[in-house]
Amino acid sequence: MPASLDLSPCFAPNWLPERHSQTLFGALAAPTNRLRFARKRVDTPDGDFIDVDWALPGLAAHPTRSQEGGLSHTAAARWLTNAEQQKLRDATPTPALLLFHGLEGSSGSRYSQSIATYFKTKGWILAIAHFRGCSGFANRLARAYHSGDSAEIGFILSTVRQQVPQARWHAAGVSLGGNALLKYLGEYGTQLAWLCGAAAISAPIDLVAAGNHLSDNTFNREVYSRHFLRSLKPKVFEKARRYPGVIDVFKVNQARDLRDFDHAYTAPMHGFKDAIDYWTQSASKPWLKKIVTPTLVLNARNDPFLPEHTLVGPNDCSDAITLHQPALGGHVGFVNGPWPGHLNWLPERLLRYFETLAPRTA
């Protein structure tokens, strides 16, 4: 059977009339609570580390200055204590959500803040995993993260499950994180009976189409690509200083769009021939028919990162997938309400979906 298709609207306010205003206001200006987290650093099998920020009812995140441990520039207030880690392991069954952020995102991103705040108030455990180099600290290796890193997604899922083994775990990914999560679900779905449900928000499921659109469209290149490159390039230059001769600094410096950057750094650093090869191999679209975990795939039809004609339809997916494609919302925007608006629509939609799912057992 094909996937189900939901076309119910996200009611964008009249003062955000089109895709770019909905995207940019949602990312840069929409009001959110500034939730603070307790952070856990986990070493990876290849000698690097992942930082996971935790929020849950009853967990205070208000340290003294001496407790911050260099976290003042992040959304994490302090490090998780050993006693708190043991308390999590012993926790009684409770719903939990692991969130994967988008390109150059973090637990401080507005969508992360809105989702975490909303789910915490509903009694859920929240874990926000940072891809390498996105937690406010440079990662140890010359490599970084990319859109199709299934091994990394699997490692993070396994890590949080071990931390809170009794929880009823759900996973959600935003943009790049959504694509990586969907690809992983398609590749390893039969091994994930313990995962109650998943969601992908504004995922660039067709990475070739999205990458080209962000690079070739003038507005996208000059606004969105330039925005991402402002943080991506300095990180790579810092890596090049630590690993001389490993990175083609000249090509990275000359990159003017995401295709150039992925061709110069992301693809060769992570084992791909070039940007197109990276995008082709990392796209989640070919894996959607293999997903068995109940999964919500949410894409606004006016998303400026992904042309509407490239969105998937029910016949492209397994019957475990629910497609929701509202006409408005932009890219991870989904702003609602009178001025100055709010970001509650997205977490409300996620919770409403997760609450419809029957319990699964491993």
> Which pLDDT score is estimated for 87?
83
Number of residues that make up the chain: 362
User: Using one digit for the tens of pLDDT, what is the confidence trace for 322-357?
Assistant: 999 999 999 999 999 999 999 999 999 999 999 999
Percentage of the residues of the chain whose pLDDT score is greater than 90: 90
Q: Are residues 227 and 337 in the same domain?
A: no
Q: Are 131 and 145 within 8 A, CB to CB? A: yes
Judge if 276 and 319 occupy the same domain: no
37 and 137 in a common domain: yes
Task: Say if 362 falls within a structural domain.
Answer: no
Q: Alpha carbon of 297 to those of 199, 346, 361: distances in Å?
A: 6, 12, 22
Residue whose pair of structure tokens reads 């009339």 in the numeric block: 17
Predicted pLDDT at 65: 47
pLDDT of 217 reads: 97
**Residue 218's domain spans which residues?**
207-281
361 domain residue, yes or no = no
Q: What is the pLDDT of residue 282?
A: 98
Number of structural domains found in the chain:
2
Query: Do 14 and 147 reside in the same domain of the chain?
Result: yes
Low-confidence ranges of the chain (pLDDT < 70): 1, 60-68, 358-362
260 and 154, same domain (yes or no): no
Domain assignment present for 296 = yes
- Tell me, yes or no, whether 147 and 185 share the same domain: yes
Q: Is residue 360 part of a domain?
A: no
The pLDDT assigned to 323 comes to 98
DSSP state of 290: G
Q: In terms of domains, do 191 and 230 share one?
A: no
- 3-state secondary structure (DSSP) of residue 153: helix
The last residue of a domain, from among 229, 253, 281: 281
**Cβ contacts of residue 24 below 8 Å, gap of 6+?**
223, 330, 333
The span from the CA of 341 to the CA of 237, in Å, is 38
Q: In the prediction, which pLDDT does 56 show?
A: 81
Residue 122 lies in a domain: yes
- pLDDT number for residue 360: 65
The CATH number for 58's domain is 3.40.50.1820
Q: Both 75 and 221 in a single domain?
A: no
User: Is 234 found in the same domain as 125?
Assistant: no
Q: 234 in a domain, yes or no?
A: yes
- Listing from the earlier edge strand, what are the strands of the sheet with 125-129? 4-6, 321-324, 295-298, 197-201, 168-174, 95-100, 125-129, 49-55, 37-43, 76-79
199 forms beta bridges with 172, 296
Closest alpha carbon to 320 in 296, 298, 292: 292
Query: Which residue, 264, 281, 298, sits at the end of a domain?
Result: 281
User: Does 175 fall in a domain?
Assistant: yes
Tell me how far apart the alpha carbons of residues 79 and 70 are, in angstroms, rounded to a whole number: 10
Per-residue pLDDT, 237: 98
| The last residue of a domain, from among 281, 306, 338 | 281
21 with 54, same domain? yes
Element (H, E) at 199: strand 197-201
The verdict on 61 and 83 lying in the same domain is yes
Is 119 a member of any domain?
yes
Cα pseudo-dihedral 36, 37, 41, 45, rounded to 10: -110
CA angle 263, 132, 353 (to 5 degrees): 100
Let me know whether 104 and 183 are in one domain. Answer: yes
Q: What is the pLDDT of residues 279-322, one digit of tens each?
A: 999 999 999 999 999 999 999 999 999 999 999 999 999 999 99
Query: Is-above-0.85 flag for pTM?
Result: yes
User: Quick one: which of 3, 2, 20, 6 has its CA closest to 325?
Assistant: 6
Q: Is 114 helix (H, G, I), strand (E, B) or coil?
A: helix
